Structure 1
Amino acid sequence: MDFGWTLEQQRRHDEILEAARSALGPEPATTSTEFRKKWREIGDLGLLGACLPVEHGGAGSSALDTARSYEALGEACADTGVVFAASAHLFACAVPIAEFGSAAITSRWLPGMCGGDHIAGNAMTETGAGSDVARLATTATPVDGGYLLNGEKSFVSNGPVADVFVTYATTDPEAGHLGQTAFVVAAEAPGVRVGEPFEKMGLRSTPASTVTFTDCLVPGDAVLGREGMGATIFQHSMGWERACLFAGYVGMMARLVDRVTQHARRRKQFGSSIGRFQAVSHRVVEMHMRLETARLLLYRACWEMDQGRPARLEVALSKLAASEGALASAMDAVRIFGAQGFLADAGIEAELRNAVPSVLFSGTSEIQRELAARELGL
């Protein structure tokens, strides 16, 4: 068992750390112009197509190397919203297009998605279908030349700025999960309407909105895989998302450990640095333990994926450890920083707000525990 990195892997990690710190900065993107600028920088780092085939413009990295790269991005870039946006673009949209898209679809979209010219949004969630994704109200009706899409997606990350959507619709209401089909739809297609950006607690630099399809004609070659494969395709992309997207949160946890450690050394109370007080030092140790637990589970899950194994248990545990750990550690950071942590200027309260949704998207923590329980035979 080797816990070390090759010289090339370490070089790449350090390169991303340095470049992201320099180019992305600590302030969140507040305008579409700022978002696009950061998006281009992430594309220039090769991260928007990290795990995609080289022939499509990607880097061809393994799941483990991809996770390591996004961990570095999450550590270096305090704008967790843009890290999340890039992750959702790659793992929920680009990965299924690369794996299941036709030659026409992959050649049209993937080079731009890898380079930063195109932004993708994953249009799955509906008002009545969050965790229960087998009950999609959005329908796709076969017609001459393709399908007519009708329905509304209630929460689409990157929706307001997306050039393309990966969406899922019911093609056979009687077939349950075998009646779902995946589609690639251009944002400019007739019948696509994007709602106003949501005001959100956290991840504020990730633009999100509703997306409505009204008699939207989708050509037959825009189907991913084939009709009825939607649930399989979605679960495949979720494997990547639940593992590698949360590498960004592992990076965030590393950044928090570093910040609270420095603060605990500098901050003086009762004639001593607060890091000398057991109540503080033990809290920092707990934060570091959560970081290392999440990191090791993440690497194990990605290693299993690279071996071609299902890794369902490992991915569920990894997602659970990273999301719950990020939330608990962000709360600890607020407590260690005290009143300063409550103020916006320090940026600590933003870390907490950005951590909260991690236990909700890509399957809630309760769903991850249920998935793990099933894999354990319960």
Structure 2
Amino acid sequence: MDFAFDAQTHEMCETIKDFARDRLVGPDAFDPDDFRRRWRLAGEQGALGTVVPGAYGGLGQGAVTAAAVMEALGYGCTDTGFVFSLGAHLFACLTPIVDFGTEEQKRQWLPPLCSGERIAAHGITEPEAGSDTLGMRTRAERHNDVYVLNGSKSFTTNAPVADVFVVQAVTRPGGGCFGLTSFIVEADTPGLTVGRCYEKTGLRGSPMADVHFDDCVVPAHRMLGPEGGGFGVFTTSMAWERTCLFALYLGTMRRTLEASIAHANERRQFGTAIGGFQAVSHRIVDMTLRLESARLVLYRAAWGLDRGSTDEVAPALAKLAVSEAAVQVGLDAVRIQGGLGVLHGQSETALRDALPARIFSGTNEIQKNNIARAMGLRGKPARRRK
């Protein structure tokens, strides 16, 4: 077991931390022009294509390195929403193209998506189909060499600024896992419209909106993977997202922990620094334990991805551990700062940005269901009494 990054990964992460701190911090209010400016900078730095093969414009790295880069971005960039958008773009959109795209699709889409020239969004969640993925209503009907899409998606990350969408739609109603199909749809395709940007409690730097399809015609060659293979595309992308994307919260937690330690050593009450109070020092120790424990679980899942593991439990555990730790670390930081913790600043921002982590990429309750099922915990119908 080796818990240290190799020299190349360590150097890359240090560079990314400095770059994120100096170049990726954005304005308080979402600005689409500034968002694209920073997006292009991230592309030039290689942060948008860490796991994409070099032949298509990426860095050709594995999951462990990709997670390390996300952790460095989360530490260096105080705009957690922006980093979240980077991760959604890479792990929910680019990795499916790498794993399931044709050679033509890879050469057409991956280079501009890695360079920052284009932005991708993943359309999966619907108003009545969030956790119930197989209950989606967006339909794709085939007519000769095209598919016609009708339906709506909600909470679509990057939708207001996206140039291309990876969309899941039903091609065989009632087909269950084999009834979904994935498509690559350009944003300017007639029949595709994007709603207003959401006003959110957290991740404010990540633009999200509804996406509507009204007789949206998509050529058959834009199908990603085989017809009926959409669920496989989705589950593969979620394994990457639940592991590597959530590494950004390791970075934000470490930044929050360091700020909490500094505050505890500077803030004085009753003639002494509050860090000397057992209630405060123990809280900081608990924050450290949550961070380090979540970090081990996440990197173990990333290690498995690099070895071709198809285990769904490890990514689910990583998502669960990191998101719960991030929320609690945010709460602890607010309590350590007292009144200052509820004012605009690092602690309250960390808490707001952590809250959605319990919901996106599959709610934590769904993760627990999946883990329990994998452990063999299956309910049996009760016997009827005679």
| Pairing of 1:201-240 with structure 2 (within 5 A) | 201-240=201-240
Cα distance, 1:26 vs structure 2:
6.9
| 1:273 and 2:273 are equivalent in the alignment | yes
Aligned mates of 2:317, 2:23 — CA distance in 1? 33
Q: Which residue does 2:161 correspond to in 1? A: 161
Aligned mates of 1:15, 1:230 — CA distance in 2? 37
Contact 2:260/2:337 (8 A) holds in 1: yes
Cα distance, 1:27 vs structure 2:
5.0
Aligned mates of 1:284, 1:311 — CA distance in 2? 33
Aligned mates of 1:263, 1:41 — CA distance in 2? 33
Q: Which residue does 2:297 correspond to in 1? A: 297
Contact 2:30/2:207 (8 A) holds in 1: no
Cα distance, 1:360 vs structure 2:
0.2
| 1:246 and 2:249 are equivalent in the alignment | no
Cα distance, 1:350 vs structure 2:
1.4
Aligned mates of 1:202, 1:174 — CA distance in 2? 36
Deviations 1:71-125 (A, max 9, x none): 0100111100000000000000111012112233222211111010100111100
Q: Which residue does 2:360 correspond to in 1? A: 361
Cα distance, 1:178 vs structure 2:
0.7
Aligned CA-pair RMSD: 1.1
Contact 2:120/2:165 (8 A) holds in 1: yes
Identify if the C-alpha distance between structure 1 residues 338 and 27 changes in structure 2 by more than 3 Å, giving closer, same or farther.
Answer: farther
Contact 2:26/2:35 (8 A) holds in 1: no
| 1:8 and 2:8 are equivalent in the alignment | yes
Aligned mates of 1:310, 1:364 — CA distance in 2? 20
| Pairing of 1:145-160 with structure 2 (within 5 A) | 145-160=145-160
Q: Which residue does 2:61 correspond to in 1? A: 61
Further displaced range: 31-40 or 299-308: 31-40
| 1:115 and 2:85 are equivalent in the alignment | no
Q: Which residue does 1:258 correspond to in 2? A: 258
Contact 1:29/1:79 (8 A) holds in 2: no
State the TM-score, normalizing by the size of structure 2.
0.96
3-state SS, counterpart of residue 43 of structure 1: helix
3-state SS, counterpart of residue 127 of structure 2: coil
Further displaced range: 107-116 or 158-167: 107-116
Deviations 1:153-174 (A, max 9, x none): 0221100000000000000012
5+ residue gaps in structure 1? none
5+ residue gaps in structure 2? 378-386
Q: Which residue does 2:381 correspond to in 1? A: none
Q: Which residue does 1:30 correspond to in 2? A: 30
Amino acid at match of 1:318: A
Cα distance, 1:220 vs structure 2:
0.8
Task: Tell me the percent identity.
Answer: 47
Aligned mates of 1:237, 1:251 — CA distance in 2? 22
Q: Which residue does 1:306 correspond to in 2? A: 306
Cα distance, 1:341 vs structure 2:
1.2
Q: Which residue does 2:190 correspond to in 1? A: 190
3-state SS, counterpart of residue 174 of structure 1: coil
Amino acid at match of 1:80: T
Deviations 1:1-23 (A, max 9, x none): 11222211211111111111111
Deviations 1:156-196 (A, max 9, x none): 11000000000000000121121000000000001101101
Aligned mates of 1:110, 1:20 — CA distance in 2? 23
Identify if the C-alpha distance between structure 1 residues 73 and 216 changes in structure 2 by more than 3 Å, giving closer, same or farther.
Answer: same
